[in-house]
């Protein structure tokens, strides 16, 4: 019963109001405890997306893993176009309901391993990718997502990949070493670095 109510609550706009306040508590506790190997709080992820969008002047955001659409909510007025891909049909319906009046927000249903390559074929400008579609550290479409982005003819994309701690050889994720080698071979000229558990891949300045 309690979990049903929690899910219902996440489908409301009130959820985003609550999140906008609770992220500060989450951030303060992360700052105070600073547990090594822990994920970053949502506020840090939001700020990193804003920083890279501004630094590289990117107008299109592509997110994998919509979840209950809080990243969409936070960025709804900050990008010209936003695409978000979610596997779970229920979450897709919920996000589409929330942003029904927004013609710049596109929520796509399906496995990002398949949907992202299809979406890429329609993208004509550099984008900011927030790659965060996964079932914890149990399954991830990251390899297929990277294959598709690295082959894309448009240069100047910025990739932010959440949960760097899982690129450690104990999960289906590639290791950081494998990711660095793949990037050097297939996406030359790009910097790859980790900050606050987020992997950042962007074109190196000469």
Ligand X SMILES: C[S@@+](CC[C@H](N)C(=O)[O-])C[C@H]1O[C@@H](n2cnc3c(N)ncnc32)[C@H](O)[C@@H]1O
Q: Which of 60, 64, 75, 183 binds ligand X (CB under 6 A)?
A: 64
Sheet containing 190-195: give its strands across. 105-109, 81-86, 60-64, 128-131, 158-162, 198-203, 190-195
By CB under 6 A, tell whether 132 contacts ligand X: yes
Residue closer to ligand X, measured from CB, 112 or 183: 112
Q: Hey, which residues between 149 and 178 contact ligand X (CB under 6 A)? A: none
Extract the tokens encoding 152: 């894309």
In whole angstroms, give the CA distance from residue 97 to residue 175: 37
By CB under 6 A, tell whether 86 contacts ligand X: yes
- For residues 15 and 9, the answer to whether their CB atoms sit within 8 Å is yes
By CB under 6 A, tell whether 137 contacts ligand X: no
By CB under 6 A, tell whether 75 contacts ligand X: no
Residue closer to ligand X, measured from CB, 67 or 171: 67
Binding site residues, ligand X, CB under 6 A: 45, 63-65, 67, 70-71, 85-88, 91, 111-113, 132-135, 141
């Amino acid at each position: 019963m309690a979990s049903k109510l929690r899910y219902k609550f996440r489908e409301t706009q009130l959820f985003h109001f609550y999140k906008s306040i609770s992220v500060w508590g989450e951030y303060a506790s992360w700052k105070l405890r600073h547990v090594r190997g822990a994920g970053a709080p949502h506020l840090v992820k939001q700020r990193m997306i804003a920083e890279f969008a501004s630094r590289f002047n990117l107008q299109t955001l592509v997110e994998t893993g919509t979840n209950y659409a809080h990243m969409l909510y936070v960025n709804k007025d900050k990008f010209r176009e936003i695409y978000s891909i979610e596997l779970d049909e229920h979450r897709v319906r919920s996000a589409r309901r929330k942003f029904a009046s927004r013609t710049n927000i596109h929520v796509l249903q399906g496995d990002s391993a398949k949907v992202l390559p299809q979406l890429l074929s329609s993208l004509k400008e550099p984008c900011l990718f927030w790659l965060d579609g996964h079932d914890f550290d149990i399954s991830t479409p990251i390899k297929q997502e990277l294959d598709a982005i690295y082959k894309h003819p448009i240069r100047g994309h910025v990739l932010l990949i959440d949960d760097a701690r899982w690129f450690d050889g104990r999960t289906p994720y590639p290791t950081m070493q494998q990711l660095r080698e793949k990037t050097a071979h297939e996406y030359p000229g790009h910097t790859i670095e980790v900050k606050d558990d987020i992997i950042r891949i962007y074109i190196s300045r000469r």
